A and B are shown apart, each in its own frame.
Chain A
Amino acid sequence: MATLTNAPALRRKARRERLRTLGFLSPWLVGFTVFFGYPLIATVYFSFMHYNQIEAPTFVGLRNWRYVLEQMPLFGPALWNTLWLVVVMVALRVVFGLGIGLLVTKIKSGVGFFRTAFYLPYLAPPVAATVAFVFLLNPGTGPVNDILGTIGIHAPNWFNDPAWAKPSLVLLSLWGIGDLMVIFMAALLDVPKEQYEAAELDGAGAFHKFRYVTWPSITPIVMFAVVTGVVQTMQYYTQALVAGKLASGVSVGPGTVIQPGYPDHSTLTVPQLVYSLGFQNFNTGAACVLSLVLFAIAMAVTTLLMRKRAGLLSAED
């Protein structure tokens, strides 16, 4: 029985392999425990505590939860704004990104130039892009409304109008569509050419070719774009905060407490509210409740979408 005599050696080999695997994974295992596991548990713990970051935390049961979900005046607007952005921004980004991707594959001359032009804004740092857009769309001093005025269009007040502030943010995010364009472009170029030729022989027009050839083969990428878009938009923070602050014209410096969401809380998102509760009002418990609500919604939406196969775990050999 040769296998039996080899058993200790095999076991030793298996143990060595386990140790090797652990060794290679160790940076992430430590990181995951310390920077993900611990704070997640601590957030749950603090959500049941009254804690102002000076005195010791005291247990208050569900009081923070009740306060956030039932009484806090800004919870409703923040949740509404975040969900509004998730639906509108993600949908428009996917449609627009796909449109630009299709356009790029149809361009015959100067592809390099157009591709670079469409991609470049994606790289602009969010703060810089937001500052630039607040200026460009500024009703009094910005060039956009001037240009629209000369061609007879009465332009809105963009970031200064509660009805237009969120659409202005959507416009800003469409400007930075470059990443989606590249992803869609690559997917579109991967569609086998023979299928288009076969469809043409069957007499399919442009719409039918898109519906029956292009769409089925890019669906996984569209799903991927939707899932990552939802995840990103649930975290939407920097652009909304900077746009609101700059458009309101208040002077801000360290220590200044400003009410985010200008104008009329129309750009207040859930992450902004978490920051404002936790780091300006020092209401740690309520901030933790709110971040857990955000987490729950993000998880629910993404698992729901992932069921429809976003291709994240494919290529598993």
Chain B
Amino acid sequence: MTATTALSAPSAPARPAAGRSPAPAARRRAALHWIAVHTVAIAAALFFILPFVFVFLTSVMSDDQALSGDLWPTEWNWSNYADVFNTPGFLDWWRNSLLYAGLGTLFTVCSSIPVAYALAKFRFRGRRTAMIMVISTMMLPPQVIVIPMYLVWAQQLHLSGSLWPLIIPMAFGDAYSIFLLRQFLLTIPREYLESAKVDGSGELGTLLRIVVPMAKPGIAAVALFQFFYCWNDYFGPQIYAAQNPGAWTLSYGLESFKSAHSVNWNLTMAATLLVMAPVIIVFFFAQKAFVEGVTLTGVKG
């Protein structure tokens, strides 16, 4: 403890100017440090990248070679990708994934913004309780509530075999998105909101004209996370869409795709890459929003 306080003392007086040009020994030490760090970094990068490389190389192999454990394809069968697309149902899975992820994201963003705004900027009794309730919803394993919900959707509303039981609830706010947006909205200075109100803007007008434009990066991060949550979801489609292959999503269909082509690892790897592709393409266009979203969750929380 004493060490910590001693160390947090303001920084020492400036060092003499002579110390600026490093001695050869110091320069050698810096070079060795550089080499050591980059060697470790390259080794680590291989662990993260090689799986993608192997998956890709296998995806263009012939049926037989994919079973051989070979690393490099002897011939490049680009037609494997066409075969995947021509598999019955595969295009339906794309459509369903886009529907689930697209509508799900739209609903979540529209319903979560006003809630997050109220939690961030309104002063009311029970605000803290409301936040604790939001966070405990985030903590709840989905398996705890799925059985009664399934019974309602299947037996009372007759909507099982479709993705609606997954999409409709998103029009009623999502705890994780509300939490993330609220953290973001807390950073908007109250003065902006007050000056808008002085100009005669109502609460809803302030939200739409001032807060939403200012919160664009936060909204973008929430939208991306929700899109990928839906795109990657397996449990939800398994519960509600399993009995109707016409309602399967890519994430759910992929595993049964493998089962149906039990020996065709090459086609399976091509399909695997096709399921990953949208995520990775969007990442390269929206890196900043992603990283902002992730850091927001952990650090500014």
Judge if B269 is at the interface, Cβ distance under 8 Å.
yes
Contact B9 A125 (CB under 8 A): no
Interface of B, secondary structure class, is helix
A85 interface residue, CB < 8 Å from B? no
Q: In the assembled complex, which residues on chain B have CB atoms less than 8 Å from the CB atom of A133? A: 51
Q: Are B41 and A114 in contact (CB under 8 A)?
A: yes
A135 surroundings in chain B (CB, below 8 A)? 55, 58, 265, 268-269
Which of B69, B115, B144, B235 is close to A141, meaning CB atoms less than 8 Å apart? B69
**A293-317 toward B: CB 8 Å interface, digit per residue (1/0)?**
0110011001000000001111111
- A95, CB-defined interface residue at 8 Å: no
- Nearest neighbor of A194 in chain B, beta-carbon distance: B11
Most buried by A among B69, B138, B151: B69
Cβ of B203 within 8 Å of any chain A Cβ, yes or no, is yes
Contact present for B299 and A186 (CB under 8 Å): yes
Please name all residues of chain B whose beta carbon is closer than 8 Å to the beta carbon of A27 when the two chains form the complex: 111-112, 114-115, 171-173
Interface residues in A129-150 by Cβ distance below 8 A to B read 131-133, 135-136, 140-143, 145-147
Residue of B nearest to A35 (CB): B169
Most buried by A among B71, B131, B143, B290: B143
Checking B55, B68, B254, B283 against A127 with a beta-carbon cut-off of 8 angstroms, the contacting residue is B254
Q: Tell me if A216 and B4 are in contact (CB < 8 A).
A: yes
Cβ contacts under 8 Å, B205 to chain A: none
How many whole Å from B297's CB to the nearest CB in chain A? 7
Which B residues from 115 to 143 make CB contacts under 8 A with A? 115, 117-119, 122, 124, 128, 130-135, 137-143
CB-nearest residue of chain A to B242: A254
Q: Please judge, given known A-B contacts A32-B133, A108-B37, A125-B231, whether A294 and B299 are in contact too, CB under 8 Å.
A: no
Could you say which residues of chain B place their CB within 8 Å of the CB of A20?
122, 203
Which residues in B have their C-beta under 8 angstroms from that of A103? 37, 40-41, 44
Q: In the bound complex, do residue A295 and residue B140 qualify as a contact, i.e. CB atoms below 8 Å apart?
A: yes
A163 within 8 A of B: no
Given the known inter-chain contacts A43-B148, A132-B51, A136-B51, please indicate yes or no for A127 contacting B143, CB distance below 8 A.
Answer: no
Whole-angstrom CA separation of A133 from B54 in the bound complex: 10
State whether A284 touches B122 (Cβ < 8 A). Answer: no
Chain B residues within 8 Å of A255, by CB? 243
Inter-chain contacts of A198 with B (CB < 8 A):
7-12
Within 8 A of A (CB), among B136-184: 137-151, 155, 169, 171-173, 178, 183
Interface size on A, residues (CB 8 A): 115
Q: Does B74 contact A (CB under 8 A)?
A: no
- Contact of B260 with A by CB under 8 A: yes
Complex CA gap A119/B49 in Å reads 10
Is B141 in contact with A141, judged by CB distance below 8 angstroms? no
- Closest B residue to A291 by CB, please name it: B144
Contacts of A121 in B (CB 8 A): 48, 51-52
- Does B32 lie at the interface of the complex (its beta carbon under 8 Å from any beta carbon of A)? no
Contact call B44/A118, Cβ cutoff below 8 A: yes
Residue of A nearest to B36 (CB): A106
Question: When chains A and B are docked, how far (Å) is the Cα of A241 from the Cα of B255?
Answer: 10
Central interface residue in A125, A133, A142, A279, by most chain B CB within 10 Å: A125
Contact A231 B256 (CB under 8 A): no
- Bound-state CA distance A299–B130 (Å) is 18
The answer to whether B254 touches A291, judged by C-beta atoms less than 8 angstroms apart, is: no
- Are the CB atoms of B142 and A235 closer together than 8 Å? yes
Q: Assess whether B7 is in contact with A39, with CB atoms less than 8 Å apart.
A: no
Q: Which of B47, B124, B178, B295 contacts A182 (CB 8 A)?
A: B295
Given A32-B133, A237-B235, check contact A195 B173 (CB 8 Å).
no
Which stretch, A2-10, A66-74, A245-253, touches the partner chain B? A245-253
The verdict on A1 contacting chain B, using a C-beta distance below 8 Å, is no
Contact between B295 and A186, CB atoms less than 8 A apart: yes
Q: A91 in the interface, Cβ–Cβ < 8 Å?
A: no
> Across the interface, do A288 and B40 meet the contact criterion of CB distance under 8 Å?
no
Given contacts A108-B37, A142-B69, whether A298 and B141 have CB atoms under 8 Å apart is yes
Fill in one digit per residue for A221-259: 1 if any B CB lies within 8 Å of its CB, else 0: 100110000010011011001100110011111110000
Residues of chain B with a CB closer than 8 A to A140's CB = 67, 69
Contact of B137 among A36, A120, A279 (CB under 8 A): A36
B251 within 8 A of partner (CB): yes
Contact B259 A120 (CB under 8 A): no
A187-B298 contact in complex given A32-B133, A127-B251, C-beta closer than 8 Å: yes
Q: Lowest 8 A-B CB distances belong to which pairs?
A: A31-B172, A183-B298, A42-B148, A39-B145, A28-B173, A24-B118, A194-B11, A27-B111
A28-B173, A235-B142 known; 7 new pairs, CB 8 Å cut-off, are A25-B118, A107-B37, A120-B280, A224-B298, A255-B243, A275-B238, A294-B141
Q: List 7 A-B contacts (CB under 8 A).
A: A32-B133, A120-B283, A186-B295, A237-B143, A251-B259, A274-B143, A315-B300
